[in-house]
Amino acid sequence: MFNLRPRQLLLLSLLAAFATMALKTLAWHLTGSVGFLSDAVESLVNVAGAGFALLMVTLARRPADDSHPYGHSKAEYLSAAFEGGMIFLAAIAICITAVERLINPQPITTLGIGTALTVAASLINLAIALLLLHGGKRHDSPALEGDGKHLLTDVWTTAGVVVGVALASVSGYTWLDPIVAIAVAGHILLEGGNILYKAINGLMDKALPAERIGEIEQALAPYINQKVQFVNLRTRAAATLQFAQVDMQVPGDWSVERAHQLADDAEQQLNNIGVQLSIHIEPQHAHGIAANRVAP
């Protein structure tokens, strides 16, 4: 189960999203709670998000071609952006329904069965979220990680809805139910904004984390000596793919073949740790005193 590939995990997430949406919709139908309705609407977002993520991960795994020489991995960021947009639409729908219920309050019925169905759906989401987060870390997939975090947040959202609906039922203050729904809408708006921010940041070619850059520098260190230096290291992430570019300074009297062989060796070393390295070869002191030199 823990060795499932990204597409298999997202397919499992999609099936679970359909199941939890059905359970939460039935809970809303039985109770008439707008809080449960808000939870059911967010489950619809889960279905759309998991389905689109599955499509984008399938596209992202396509090999590089003439039109996309660096591959299609950034398609995963489109999945995150789409899910963020769906969350915004869901929050607006929840707010509209909640305000209408504040104006025209209705009693909450069949609370026990509705709560049981919602809790069952939440447990399914919790199990799938943990699987997705594990898979996202294992495969370095922002689509899996984003979907997992969304589902985990949904678990906490459901807990808040259950508490709010219970308080409204016990106290008789029916206005607590739509107030909780509005609070849920605000929470998922924040979540949607965070997902959109990460998607946009990913599309802007953000540099690799400092720890990863340190690993790259360690991998290049064996090739550094008085004759060979690496300067101007630049990195970027494209979803599951990682790229680096560096200038390699060698003596001016080296043959092209010798410098090229050393560059090939360094690129292969980086490829072994999952980084696609491109090296620009230039004579020593091409920039005078080199800035941003990779330390041996």
pLDDT (tens digit per residue) in 129-154: 899 888 887 877 777 877 787 787 77
Average pLDDT over residues 68-90: 76
C-alpha span between 37 and 161 (Å, rounded): 10
Whether pLDDT at 251 is above 80? yes
Tokens of 7: 């597409």
Helix (H, G, I), strand (E, B) or coil at 190: helix
Residue that wins the pLDDT comparison between 290 and 266? 266
Work out whether strand 229-238 and strand 241-250 pair parallel, antiparallel, or are unpaired: antiparallel
**Residue 108 in this model has a pLDDT that exceeds 70:** no
Is pLDDT at 263 greater than 90 in this prediction? yes
Rounded to whole angstroms, the Cα distance separating 189 from 168 reads 24
Per 3-state DSSP, what percentage of the chain is helix, strand, and coil (rounded to 5)? 65, 10, 25
3-state DSSP assignment of residue 77: helix
Q: Which CATH number is correct for 210-283, 2.60.200.30, 3.30.70.1350, 3.90.1310.10, 3.30.460.80?
A: 3.30.70.1350
| H or E element at residue 283 | strand 276-283
Q: What global pTM score does this model have?
A: 0.60
At 221, the amino acid letter reads: A
Q: What is the CA radius of gyration of the chain?
A: 26
6-203 CATH fold: Alpha-lytic protease prodomain-like (1.20.1510)
Q: Indicate the pLDDT class of residue 2, thresholds 50, 70 and 90.
A: low
Average pLDDT over residues 86-100: 75
**Number of continuous H segments (helices) and E segments (strands) in the chain:** 8, 3
Query: In the chain, what are the domain boundaries?
Result: 6-203, 210-283
Give bridge partners of residue 282 from the DSSP assignment: 249
